[in-house]
Amino acid sequence: MSKRSFKYVCPNCSTTLSFDYVALELPEIIKARACPACYFPHTFYPRENRAEIRTEEITKVAFLIHSSKPEEKDLLDWFRAILKLYGVDTRIIEEDPRSVDWLQKSLDGINSTNFAISFLTKRYQYTDESGVIQGWKAPDKCYEEIAIAFSLHKDLFALVEKDVAPGNVLQTRAWCYPFEKNGIKNAPIKADREFFVALDNYVNK
């Protein structure tokens, strides 16, 4: 087997990327991993030394547990659009038009989807018994939905904003990663690319 090194520019954010590929023969197409700057997955054409944004066919549906506020709609829309590139459609409780309580909507949503994804942003600060501020939390409903997904044995991925308490369930999950907001339009968060690598592997296994 031979090792080849490649360098190319992300077609979404223009970040210069490089990777090594080891194989007996060079394929026509390589599924490149997520860009570390904008998290878009790529299809790389080694003989032309160029990349395209990779869009997978939708094969899984996730119940998306989120704590974003109305003013963070653009952030939530960006995250849902990124997930679609990886072949994941999402359902959120706010889009369930039925006149039943949130718990029933959550139960039905989790039961009717393949797995769950938590996207937790800062909502309120919490204090200890002496009144000292300890950090940030998402709404209690989010933690309850996470517990429901766990109790139903659903696979669970999570991105949790820095300084937000992940809750007891997420602290035990391998696919839980922190992120920070950075205000950049085409990549509004800074996160560990391994979240998207794990998601990519899970969807395409």
The domain that holds 135 is classified in CATH as 3.40.50.450
- Whether this model's pTM surpasses 0.85: yes
Full pLDDT tens readout for the chain, 205 residues: 688 899 999 999 999 999 998 888 888 999 988 999 999 999 999 989 899 999 999 999 999 999 988 888 999 999 999 999 999 999 999 998 889 998 999 999 999 999 999 999 999 888 778 877 778 999 999 999 999 999 999 999 999 999 999 988 888 887 899 999 987 777 899 999 999 999 999 998 7
Residue 69 and residue 19 share a domain: no
Residue 49 and residue 91 share a domain: no
Residue finishing a domain among 10, 26, 53: 53
Residue span of the structural domain in which 22 resides: 2-53
Confirm if 42 and 35 have CB atoms less than 8 A apart. yes
d(CA 194, CA 88): 17
Residue 181 and residue 94 share a domain: yes
Q: What is the pLDDT of residue 14?
A: 92
